[in-house]
Amino acid sequence: MKSVSNPHDCREELRRLEMRVTPARLGVLDVLEHAEVPLDVSTVIAYLDKQQIPADEVTVFRILNAFSKKGLIRPVQFNEGKLRYEYADKPPHHHFICEQCGSVSDVEGCVVGELEKQIEKKTGARVTRHSLEFFGICRRCGV
Ligand SMILES: [Zn+2]
Ligand SMILES: [Zn+2]
């Protein structure tokens, strides 16, 4: 389920968001769009390096922040002390991470909405987002 009409036209996507097309932005979008799992910043930088796209860490951080604000990508937290980013072509979801092999799978469906409503009712606060990932041993690693 892609929300973008032509998922491979990153240029068009940037223009639609009124963002200037730069090699670094195209590179970041490209690697995240084709990644099977959420990527951390150093993986994104390594990809740009390999493609010989000049971009330092600060630039990449800025691009990731800008894309997150536009809703193009989503930050994901796997309790590693760093953020990862995921291309936002699917509805918000959670992940299962195998603590043995590190494999990541998407957990479809979110049941936290009800809990958010309860929190809002009890505290009068407005919940804007949540982060919930699951850890364990995957089928391949288990028994
Ligand atoms: Zn595993
Ligand atoms: Zn995911």
Could you name the CATH architecture of 94-136?
Answer: 2-Layer Sandwich (3.30)
Q: Which DSSP state fits 11?
A: H
* Proximal ligand: closest to the CA of 92: 2
What is the Å distance from ligand 1's center to 98 Cα? 5
pTM of the model: 0.81
The residues spanned by each domain of the chain are: 10-87, 94-136
Q: What is the CATH number of domain 10-87?
A: 1.10.10.10
* Proximal ligand: closest to the CA of 135: 1
Strands (E), 9-53: 39-40
Q: What is the pLDDT along the chain (143 residues), one digit of tens a residue?
A: 444 444 468 888 888 888 889 999 999 999 999 999 999 999 999 999 999 999 999 999 999 999 999 999 999 999 889 999 999 988 888 999 999 999 999 998 878 888 999 999 999 999 988 888 999 999 999 86
What is the Å distance from ligand 1's center to 140 Cα? 6
What is the Å distance from ligand 2's center to 86 Cα? 6
